[in-house]
Structures are given as structure tokens and as C-alpha cells.
A and B are shown apart, each in its own frame.
Chain A
Amino acid sequence: MTSRLEERYRAVLRVLPPAYRAAWEEEMVATFLESMATEDPEDAEFLAEYGRPHWSEVASVLGLAIRLRLPALRLRLGGVGAPPRYRLWGDAVRQVALMGLLTHAVLATVTVVNLLWEAGKLPWLPPPPWPFPAPGPRAALRVFLIFATVPAYLALLSGRRHAAWLLALLGIGSVRASALAVGQPFDAERWSLLLLDLLLLATLGAFHRDAPPVRRGPWLAALPVGVVLTFGATSAEAFWHSDWPLQDPAGLFAAALIGAAFAHFAGALRRARRPAAPRSLALALLALGLIGMRAVTLSDYVGHAPPALHATLLSVGLVEVAGLLAVGVPLALLALRAVRRLPAPGLPAGAGSRSAGA
């Protein structure tokens, strides 16, 4: 008869790979229960019913699970020489990482430009239409740290993955930390941005040893183009609708993704070929994430605005979700067809594509 404590520990152990568990689970359970043993029979009974593994023990099992499962995950996000389906997933996740880091680099650069603007260093422009305090050395330091995402992006393009990862961690961590410092509330938007950033940092792991080099030209050009577009759009909107709340991150990202999807479809039409599979899959994954983000942040975004604008902002938000679905569904279908067209790993090349049909 197993105690509740033992059941709970076995549940934690489920994160470990099955092969490892087959070899070590019984012994781990025995050692754990021995470590929780107490001489007092009343304490023992209480522990058996209500005891839970300490969080540090759970963390050690989670750490072990990550370490054990990482090689298999690296295999599934394949690079040069990997089976075709794994190579496709690997290329797609790497594109997600590039697009995410590009977004951070663009926003960081725009933040620097805005800071210079607020400090009066851009005299040919009228003063910024939003309320801003006189920027001081602390703001400059914060922006400097956030700007680390730009060299991170450039390092990733030139194949320096460890430098890229460290700089990305510094830059993205500074962005999240500065939001905390400014005292903004931990609402749905903060949580979803944090989650997306953690996922982004994880996708950088797809740039492992076997990852193919990146075609730098287009990705490099995307940075200044993105900065000009974003700065232009946000400052124009600030001037034009100075009584409107600025478009929130979910809205900006949705617009950017829909634009990228259109460029992707247009490029394929122009070349009269199927859209490139890794890009379709990457955009589909991002669309999925952004639909979730837009959905959970919409009520907060509308709620923070003056009541007169509620209906308008709600409609804008729903249009954004509709737009994401309108591009996301075709992208997902294209990606799914592309995956099915490739042979399943483990089968001889050709057997999979024959049975997959059209």
C-alpha cells in the first residue's frame, strides 16, 4: 500500500525519460522515502498522508529531466545531415528564434532613438507627444543594457551562438527587469511577454553544433528596415492619435506577423513556387503564440482606455485576432502538407512520401 507521499514523488518522477525511469525509479523512490523517514509514528503518519516533496527535490528531478531529454530534443530540431522532417522542424524553430531576436533588436533600437528624441538630440523633429520625464543616467544605463539584444542578433547571424545566447539573456533579462523596476503591474501582458521571451531564449538552443549557417543578407537588412518602419509607425500613431492609447505589444506584433505572412505568400506567388516550408511553419508557430497573447491581453488593453474608446479598441483587437487566424490557418496547412511530404524518420526515403499521398 503506497502512501500519498510516495504517489506524489512518483508523479514528479514522470518527467524523466521512460528508459531512465525503468532503471532507477524504484531506487529513487526508496531513497526519497528513507530521507523523509522520521522516528515519531504520528509524524510518520502525517507525512505519509500530507507530505510533499520539497521544492528543491522537485527542482533537482526537473534539472535531471532537462539534462536527459536535451539530446533527444536536439535531434528533433535537426541541422545538417538530419532526417528531412527533423531538419524542417529545426529550420523552422531557428527562424522563430531569428524573428524573435530581430523583434527585440528592432524594439531596442527604437527605444534608443526615442530616448535620444526625449533628450532633445533630434532637433529636426517636434518634441515627442507623450509625457516623458527628463531622461537621466539611470534611463541611459537601462537602455544600454536592453540594447544588448542588437549585438546578440548580429552574433547569431555570424554563427557565434554562445555570445548570442549570453547577450540575448542580458538584453531580454534587462527588458523584463526594467518593466519590474518601473512598477508596472503584473497583468496578462507582462506574463505573456515573459512567457514568450522564455520560449524565445529556449528556441535559441536550436542553433546547435549541426545548425546550418544563416543567410545573413536578408536578415541583416531586416534590422534597419524594421527600425524605420516601427519608429515611423509608432511616432506617427502617437502624433495622429495623441489622445489614443498607444498600440500595445500584442497589436504591434500581430501587425508585423500579418505583414510578414503577406510578404511570404507574395514572394511565393512571384516566384511561382510553393512557399518555403520552414518559413511557413515558423510563421504558423508565431501566429499561434500571438493569437494566445492577443486573446489574453485584449480585456486589459480595452479596460485601461477611456470608456469612449472601448468599442473601437475592442473591434481593433478582434480584427487583429481575425487577421492572425486568416494567415495562421493557411500557414499551418501549408506547413502540415510540407511535413507530410517528407519521409518519416526511420523509414527508407520514399516509403513515407508514397504512403503520405498528395
Chain B
Amino acid sequence: MGLTEPAFFILTALVGEPRHGYGIVGEVERLSGQRVRLKVGTLYGVLDRLVADGLVELDREEVQQGRLRRYFRLTDAGSRSLAAEAERLAANARIASGRLAALRPVNLGGPA
């Protein structure tokens, strides 16, 4: 059971501090090096599922310029899921890198 890329980045963006919708969009864009730009529809589709699955929960609500701003945070289950997924991806990457390195031991790390 893997996470989709948007879900993975949204969970990662929530590590350490709760964020609100637009804050998550900005943080995901920063983390992915401008590669993953979440649309509002995508963001809330994923958030709805993450909340339903218990990986994310509401932290607090604030009123900003007359509009409701909800902050979300990672749950313990969410932290564990993210850690497990990160480990899974890292292990997969290690397998591929290992094979590639075994194929060309001379060229790795040599001068250009």
C-alpha cells in the first residue's frame, strides 16, 4: 500500500509544524524543487482522504481577513505511515543504485 506522490509530499510538508491549505501548497512546491505544484482540487481531495484514514487531523481554526483558515497536523499514525513509505522508497532506490554501481565500478566517482 503505497502513497501517491501528492499524498507523500503533503504528509512530508506537515512534519514538524501544522500548516493550512495554502501553506501546504507552498511547502510542497519548495520541497519538490518546483516539480510538484498542487492544485486546490488535488490538495483537498488528498487531505479529505488522509483525514478519513486518520493520518492527518485538524489542529486549529483561525479567522484571517474574514475567512476561515484551518490548520492541519500529522497524527502519530501519519508519521508512521510516512516513515514506512520513505523507507520503502529508499530501499527500492538502493537496489537500483546498487545494480547500476556494480555495472560500472571504474567510472563511479572518477574525474570527469
Using a CB–CB distance below 8 Å, which chain A residues touch chain B?
20, 23-24, 26-35, 56-57, 59-64, 67-68
Choose among A23, A33, A34 the residue with the greatest number of B CB atoms under 10 Å from its CB. Answer: A34
Report yes or no: A56 in contact with B39, Cβ–Cβ below 8 A: yes
Of B42-50, B74-82, B97-105, the segment with at least 4 beta carbons within 8 Å of chain A is B42-50
Report yes or no: A31 in contact with B40, Cβ–Cβ below 8 A: yes
Give me the 3 closest cross-chain CB pairs, A-B, nearest first. Answer: A60-B41, A31-B21, A60-B39
Not counting A32-B40, A60-B45, a sample of 10 additional A-B residue pairs whose C-beta atoms are within 8 angstroms of each other reads A27-B44, A28-B41, A30-B68, A30-B69, A31-B21, A31-B25, A33-B67, A57-B40, A64-B42, A67-B45
Name the A residues within 8 Å of B44 (CB-CB).
24, 27-28, 31, 64
A162 CA / B48 CA spacing, docked (Å): 28
A56 CA / B39 CA spacing, docked (Å): 7
A60 CA / B38 CA spacing, docked (Å): 9
A267 CA / B44 CA spacing, docked (Å): 53
Number of B residues, CB within 8 Å of A? 16
Report yes or no: A61 in contact with B68, Cβ–Cβ below 8 A: no
Report yes or no: A26 in contact with B68, Cβ–Cβ below 8 A: yes
Report yes or no: B22 in contact with A31, Cβ–Cβ below 8 A: yes
Report yes or no: B43 in contact with A31, Cβ–Cβ below 8 A: yes
| Cross-chain pairs A/B with CB under 8 angstroms, 19 sampled | A23-B48, A24-B48, A28-B21, A30-B22, A31-B25, A31-B44, A34-B21, A34-B22, A35-B22, A35-B40, A57-B39, A57-B41, A59-B39, A59-B41, A60-B40, A61-B41, A64-B42, A64-B44, A67-B45
Q: How far is the CB of A44 from chain B (nearest CB, A)?
A: 13
Contact pick for B41, options A30, A34, A63, CB 8 Å: A63
Name the A residues within 8 Å of B68 (CB-CB).
26-27, 30
> Taking the complex as formed, is B88 at the interface, i.e. its CB lies under 8 A from any CB of chain A?
no
Name the B residues within 8 Å of A63 (CB-CB).
41-42, 45
Choose among A20, A31, A33, A63 the residue with the greatest number of B CB atoms under 10 Å from its CB. Answer: A31
Known pairs A30-B69, A60-B40; A35 contacts B25 (CB<8 A): yes
Closest to A12 in B: B41
Q: How far is the CB of B79 from chain A (nearest CB, A)?
A: 23
> Taking the complex as formed, is B30 at the interface, i.e. its CB lies under 8 A from any CB of chain A?
no
> Taking the complex as formed, is B60 at the interface, i.e. its CB lies under 8 A from any CB of chain A?
no
Name the A residues within 8 Å of B45 (CB-CB).
60, 63-64, 67-68
Interface residues of B in 20-58 (CB under 8 A from A): 20-22, 25, 39-45, 48
